[in-house]
Structure 1
Amino acid sequence: MATDALHPTVWLRHGRQRLGLVPSLGGSVAAWQLERAEGLLDLWRPWDGVTADLYRMASFPMVPWSNRISGGGFEEAGEFYPMRPNRAGEPYPIHGDGWLQAWQLDSLADDTATMTLQSQRFDGNPYEYRAVQRFRLLEDGLEQTLEVQHLGSTPLPYGLGVHPWFLRTTGTRIVAPVQGVWLCGDDPLPTRHTEQIPQDWDLGRGAPAFGSFVDNAYTGWGGDARIEWPEHGLQLSLTMPDFEEDGGAGRHYCLMYRPLDGNAFCFEPITQPIDAFHLEGRPGLRTLARDETLRMRMQWRFEVLASRLGS
């Protein structure tokens, strides 16, 4: 894979896997690939090595919040903090500001890496923080951690998430225990919550990777999920080892982005739903005082499907 000279890719390797990181382009992931007899298999959709649009990366971090904030900003402790849009074509600030800044590669070994970001009121945002990403390849997958420490003198609400893109085949399914979903308008900002999940959106039963348009956050998520690729005889599972300790389903959410066209979709573990800053109770947001931290730890594991074992 060729890489843009302005944004070189750093590669980790372990056994049959390789993981490409691009610290200078939002601390993002360029590719996560598995070497098989029939060739490389992309577990996340790979970056083309040229396009600087973060939506073309394999994955990127969302810090110090995930998804959209409406209303031109948010209020905390009686003070209003203005926020402005940060992506062309988006009317609202989206996905935080960590993905818009260059990260520093702090440590690197054959199969592990740490990237950090010190952010000081980027683009007029009120946030001052230090973020850390850790990656470790294992024999059967990847351990990934995203952490943020508040550095400002005034407490502020925080959220975290990661934004991986998965290649989809006709038979691809996404399975995750959920209890409800936030419906939305065209924005897409949430308008109401329902436990009557549309059938082809229902992650609990297994949702297809192709179908009607979805850009919605789910509630009651149990902290695990799996992506099934029957055509490849493989599935990728996600677990969060600190899920219950960190508040369980009441403080975690997931989001599916399923566009009508294209070869990829997103399944995003997040700590707060879309526009949580303006929802009743501000679900999932954590108000951090100076030096307090918020962390997400994720364990991704791939395995051969039973059908492939029997073939």
Structure 2
Amino acid sequence: MGEQSFGGVHWIEQHAQRLAVMPGAGGGVVAWQWVRGGEPVDLWRAWDGRTPRMQALASYPLLPWSNRISGGGFEHAGRFHALAPNTPDDPYPIHGDGWLQPWQLTRSSEDGVQMQLRSAGFGGSPYHYEASQSFTLVDGGMVQSLSVTNRGEHPLPFGLAQHPWFTRTPACRLSARVGGVWLARPDKIPTGYTADFPEGWNLGQGARVDRLVIDNGFGGWDGAALIEWPERDLALRMHSTLTLPDGSQARPDCLLYAPAEPPVFCFEPISHPIDAAHLPGQPGWTEVAPGRSMALVVEWRFSSSPADWSAATA
């Protein structure tokens, strides 16, 4: 899985921005661009228009959980729920199943789009849910939201995340106030949490992304981040918030993925750490009762570089 028959790109243009979504390809985003001086500037790494893999898109939603789950599944309320691997190149099920199903475009206007998905036990999954995502272009940025409602008969733990891709340049810097990092085995499953950061990993001090090879989750995040590309005269700020089933708000965790090749990286707001179902205390692994919902909202703002780091929390 992960490969689909791509097609049906839908574009909107407003506030000196261009956004393209592809509902039939996992509700993914093809491109998000700032039209600066009459020329489009990619804020997320754009799809190349050829590669039929979700991982080649600019961004895609992760639900009803994110990242990897080990052990062949998870136990909840005394019952084991099996989950099978869902990609050919990973031994664990990864990123849920919303990204592997076609969504429906339910609303489109000059400044926004909305997509919805109704999923019922996809691929043998225990999850029955309804999901919605929206993108609203505003002056100087975008508001991105993702929500899920449990449509099953029993409470289950859910999770949400976004998976935007960015271009990695030699001077690119990521800043995010985090409290610690989940160290991991070679297969990416966490082994423990520490506030003693490996060299170059303390995002609060600003990380030179081009110098890292990493695929790790971070905790204690305040939800704000700043990405700067000095060579491109570009900065992108983000702020993420979770709304839990009881209506309260919480701060998500985050994940940084920077492979050795190609020159790209992901910085993902995530509602729970990798393999939360099997971590002590199951951090962020949120039970959602039938008919109840949770949501993740990410506010994005772009500007020319350099940007004020303190503005990322504004």
Structure-1-length-normalised TM-score: 0.93
Distance, in Å, in 2 between the alignment partners of 1:6 and 1:224 is 33
Measure how far apart 1:257 and its partner are.
0.1
Distance, in Å, in 1 between the alignment partners of 2:151 and 2:50 is 34
Cα contact 2:64–2:98 (8 A) shared by 1: yes
SS at match of 1:193: strand
CA deviations on 1:180-228 (whole Å, 9 max, x unpaired) are 0000011010011110111311111111121231100001000110111
Q: Does 1:248 find its partner at 2:222?
A: no
Cα contact 2:240–2:269 (8 A) shared by 1: no
Measure how far apart 1:305 and its partner are.
2.4
Give identity over the alignment, percent.
45
Cα contact 1:211–1:258 (8 A) shared by 2: no
Find the counterpart in structure 1 of residue 107 from structure 2: 107
Find the counterpart in structure 1 of residue 146 from structure 2: 146
Find the counterpart in structure 2 of residue 267 from structure 1: 267
What amino acid sits opposite 1:72 in the alignment? G
In the alignment, structure 2 segments of 5+ residues that lack a partner are: 308-314
RMSD: 1.7
Cα contact 2:243–2:295 (8 A) shared by 1: no
Distance, in Å, in 2 between the alignment partners of 1:212 and 1:302 is 24
Find the counterpart in structure 2 of residue 158 from structure 1: 158
SS at match of 2:21: strand
Find the counterpart in structure 1 of residue 195 from structure 2: 195
Residues 5/52 of structure 1: CA separation in 2 closer, same or farther (3 Å cut): closer
Find the counterpart in structure 2 of residue 185 from structure 1: 185
Find the counterpart in structure 1 of residue 132 from structure 2: 132
Cα contact 1:24–1:104 (8 A) shared by 2: yes
Cα contact 1:25–1:52 (8 A) shared by 2: no
Cα contact 2:235–2:303 (8 A) shared by 1: yes
Find the counterpart in structure 2 of residue 67 from structure 1: 67
Cα contact 2:230–2:306 (8 A) shared by 1: no
Cα contact 1:68–1:95 (8 A) shared by 2: yes
Q: Larger deviation: 82-91 or 207-216? A: 207-216
CA deviations on 1:250-289 (whole Å, 9 max, x unpaired) are xx20000011121210000000000001001110011011
SS at match of 1:44: coil
Distance, in Å, in 1 between the alignment partners of 2:45 and 2:167 is 5
Cα contact 1:180–1:194 (8 A) shared by 2: yes
Distance, in Å, in 2 between the alignment partners of 1:246 and 1:210 is 37
Distance, in Å, in 1 between the alignment partners of 2:213 and 2:232 is 25
Find the counterpart in structure 1 of residue 287 from structure 2: 287
Cα contact 2:242–2:294 (8 A) shared by 1: no
Q: Larger deviation: 159-168 or 41-50? A: 41-50
SS at match of 1:201: coil
Distance, in Å, in 1 between the alignment partners of 2:241 and 2:66 is 21
In the alignment, structure 1 segments of 5+ residues that lack a partner are: none
SS at match of 2:211: coil
